[in-house]
């Protein structure tokens, strides 16, 4: 059995249970040139919606220890693929971001640091061709890595995306039209060993209310052509330090206020929400201003006592 086809049965079984089909599997190489297995999975109900999964060649996808994680990963992925833009995630400051080109799996740092790194890109996805983006180098500390079940994509993608969002929330990443790769440190500060869970942003009910409204505005109205979006994504729940059930409750409140039309766990924008475009555009500009580096103008002009 070739290295490319070895995990096919295990992946196909887990994917099928989630409503996905394994459309191809082939050998690949990671950032460091090490062999990988690259699988392409498609949504069974819409084969145009695909997910790329890349695993280390030595990783045993059939190991029973990983069954639960694979089931969760594929089940959540299938739900996202039913949304019009499964690649887009929102930040608390209102920036819709497209995540892509993440070169899984992690590779050891080439700079001599004691970390594991994964590279990727984020792009501002506001429906306009701004070309604003950031090249990402998410670095996982050795200490944090030891707490993980695995460093492979299905086990790490969610918290890496949330760490990128959190770093933007803190104003420590800049969206530019060109530039070097920017670091995203991923440390144990994001994980409670005692509680066995990740922690990114403590949010209140109002913040979650505003977040979900903005998510439906951007992902359904602006980017999705009015198609419904998933409002109970566990990645959002993790990012907001809440639960999927609390997000559902918040969505019901938004529906009662007339901002969204709700059908189960999927929502579209109403006229009331669509009419708020100036507000959401202004939030994007404010967020971009917040993450833009500022300089001491006196020092720039040479007026310094140093």
Amino acid 288: pLDDT: 95
Determine the average pLDDT of the residues in 199-218.
Answer: 96
Confirm if 162 and 235 have CB atoms less than 8 A apart. Answer: yes
Which uninterrupted H or E stretch holds 158?
A: helix 153-169
pLDDT in tens, 75-112: 999 999 999 999 999 999 999 999 999 999 999 887 76
- Residues 6 or more apart whose CB falls under 8 angstroms from that of 281 comprise 126
Percent of the chain's residues with pLDDT above 70 = 93
143: nearest Cα among 87, 82, 93, 185 = 185
Determine the average pLDDT of the residues in 33-53.
Answer: 93
Q: Highest-confidence range of 146-150, 258-262, 297-301, by mean pLDDT?
A: 258-262
SS3 content of the chain, % helix, strand, coil (to 5): 35, 25, 40
pLDDT in tens, 170-204: 999 999 998 899 999 988 888 877 777 888 999 99
Residues 157, 96: Cα–Cα separation, whole Å: 18
Confirm if 144 and 191 have CB atoms less than 8 A apart. Answer: yes
pLDDT in tens, 121-165: 999 999 998 899 999 999 998 888 888 888 999 999 999 999 999
CA-based Rg of the chain, rounded to a whole angstrom? 20
Least trusted range by pLDDT, from 69-73, 215-219, 283-287, 298-302: 298-302
* Partners of residue 253 on adjacent β-strands: none
Percent of the chain's residues with pLDDT above 90 = 68
pLDDT band at 58 (very low <50, low <70, confident <90, very high): confident
Determine the average pLDDT of the residues in 281-299.
Answer: 79
Residues 90, 98: Cα–Cα separation, whole Å: 9
């Amino acid at each position: 059995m070739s290295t490319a086809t070895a995990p096919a049965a295990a992946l196909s079984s887990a994917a099928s249970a989630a409503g996905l089909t394994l459309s191809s599997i082939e050998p690949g190489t990671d950032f460091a040139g090490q062999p990988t297995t690259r699988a392409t999975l498609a949504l069974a109900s819409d084969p145009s919606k695909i997910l790329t999964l890349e695993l280390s060649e030595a990783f045993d996808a059939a190991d029973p220890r990983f069954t639960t994680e694979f089931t969760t990963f594929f089940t959540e992925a299938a739900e996202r693929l039913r949304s019009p833009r499964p690649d887009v995630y929102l930040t608390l400051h209102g920036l819709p971001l497209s995540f892509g080109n993440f070169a899984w799996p992690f590779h050891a740092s080439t700079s001599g640091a004691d970390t594991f790194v994964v590279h990727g890109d984020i792009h501002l996805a506001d429906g306009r061709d701004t070309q604003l983006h950031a090249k990402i180098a998410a670095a996982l500390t050795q200490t944090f890595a030891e707490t993980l079940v695995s460093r492979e994509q299905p086990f790490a993608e969610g918290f890496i995306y949330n760490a990128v969002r959190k770093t933007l929330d803190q104003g420590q990443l800049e969206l530019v039209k060109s530039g070097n790769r920017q670091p995203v440190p991923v440390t144990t500060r994001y994980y409670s060993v005692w509680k066995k869970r990740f922690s990114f942003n403590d949010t209140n009910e109002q913040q979650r209310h505003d977040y979900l409204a903005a998510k439906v505005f951007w992902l359904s109205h602006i980017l999705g052509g009015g198609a419904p979006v998933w409002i109970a994504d566990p990645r959002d729940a993790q990012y907001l330090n809440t639960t999927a059930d609390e997000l559902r409750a918040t969505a019901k409140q938004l529906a009662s206020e007339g901002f969204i039309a709700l059908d189960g766990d999927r929502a579209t924008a109403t006229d009331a929400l669509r009419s708020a475009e100036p507000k959401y555009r202004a939030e994007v500009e404010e967020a971009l201003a917040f993450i833009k580096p500022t300089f001491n103008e006196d020092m720039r002009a040479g007026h310094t006592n140093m």
